[in-house]
Amino acid sequence: MTSMKQSINMAQIKILKKNKQEILQTLSLFTPESLYVKKELIIDGYLYGYTLVDIDLGKHKQTQKEIVWSIITIFPFALLLGLIVSFFLGANYTKPFTQPLNAMKKSDPTHENIILVQTDAKNEIKELFNGYNTLMQQVADSSKELHFQAEHDQLTSIKNRFFIEDQIKTALKDESDTRYNLLHINLDQFKLINDSAGHQAGDELLKMIASEYPKTLPQGSVFARVDGDAFMVLLKNSTKENGLDVLEKSLLKLHDFRFSSENKSYSVSASIRFVHFKPFEYTFKELIQALNSALHSAKEQGRNKAYVYNPDDAITERFTKELQTASFIKEALLNAPSHSVTSICTR
């Protein structure tokens, strides 16, 4: 055997002797420090022996160690750089989506509080932002319209029953020492006008009253249409004397109220019931019953009359008893056996 190395130390000779049989049978041999590669030495077709190439693995191992340590040293910095780059790219990629999302969270289109988003981009991102702004504006406009419809009468555009009843309920629970006055206005002979002049004329009359009557009311009053020919007025922070003054002006304003339709002149008046109250003095149901009692009293006095509710009044007491009697009869009919009701109805 010959070696490409010029000198072979004793340790290598021992390794070769120890692994002689294996070297003869194989073409290569691995040791911890070297790689031996056997190559046939053939000249002119004759095998003269073998050449054994000794490759020193020590330097290769050292290089591997250096590479590993370099990787271990560089890896944290590379990882940190990768995180920074990925965060930057992620932020720029998600920004077109997070900006409208954050604006949506802070917006309240139902109360016309909209945060619009802006961008200098001229691509799909700009279209996205414009679409978001348009959508939020449409939601705000729709909410505003629905809110208006929920609180206003469709015919006259003044406040409706739901709004003023909510205001009354709030007043009844007011913690302050505020006083309130409530007026319930019923037009006299409105049905007659509807029947003789037509519903269109009746609608025009209601619009005129909704436009003209509020001019007699103090600032801050709540005026609403609560039924076909019925209106309510809630006077806030108002003494009874102030309320009676408004009641008198209301009667004068609505007395012989005239309007024309198709070259015909019509006049109406109103019956008004008045209740002065303070918070927690009545429940909402009791206050409505007081209004009904006052209306009954006003109607009994004739057209264009007002009645100030007084729970001790004889007419009020009679009306209250009539309501109780009607309630007892209704309850009795509901609780009576079905065959008894049938027999009563067929007699």
Q: Are residues 269 and 128 part of one domain?
A: no
Q: Are residues 68 and 52 part of one domain?
A: no
Q: Are residues 190 and 115 part of one domain?
A: no
Q: Are residues 133 and 30 part of one domain?
A: no
Write down the pTM of the prediction: 0.61
Q: Are residues 301 and 170 part of one domain?
A: yes
Q: Residue 232: its pLDDT value, please? A: 96
The span from the first CA to the last CA of the chain, in angstroms, equals: 139
Is 73 within the bounds of a domain?
Answer: yes
The count of other CB atoms within 10 Å of the CB of residue 104 is 15
Q: Residue 66: its pLDDT value, please? A: 83
Residue type, 130: N
Q: Are residues 249 and 166 part of one domain?
A: yes
Q: Are strands 2-3 and 28-30 parallel, antiparallel or unpaired?
A: unpaired
Is 347 within the bounds of a domain?
Answer: no
Distances (CA, A) of 167 to 75, 98, 170, 182, 258: 70, 41, 5, 11, 31
Is 340 within the bounds of a domain?
Answer: no
- Number of domains within the chain: 3
Domain that holds residue 114: 64-144
> 225, 158 in Cβ contact below 8 A?
yes
Q: Are residues 215 and 131 part of one domain?
A: no
Is 100 within the bounds of a domain?
Answer: yes
In angstroms, rounded to a whole number, what is the distance separating the alpha carbons of residues 161 and 168?
A: 10
CATH number, domain of 267, equals 3.30.70.270
Burial group, residue 209, by CB count within 10 angstroms (0-12, 13-18, 19+): buried
Q: Are residues 297 and 184 part of one domain?
A: yes
Is 165 within the bounds of a domain?
Answer: yes
Residue type, 74: I
> 324, 293 in Cβ contact below 8 A?
no
- Give the H/E segment covering residue 149: helix 124-151
Q: Are residues 83 and 49 part of one domain?
A: no
How does DSSP classify residue 218? P
Q: Are residues 111 and 31 part of one domain?
A: no
Q: Residue 67: its pLDDT value, please? A: 86
Mean pLDDT by 10 residues, the chain (347 residues): 48 63 65 70 76 70 82 85 78 72 84 84 82 88 90 95 95 92 90 83 90 93 94 96 94 81 79 92 88 65 77 55 55 60 42
Q: Which of 39, 56, 73 delimits the end of a domain? A: 56
Is 211 within the bounds of a domain?
Answer: yes
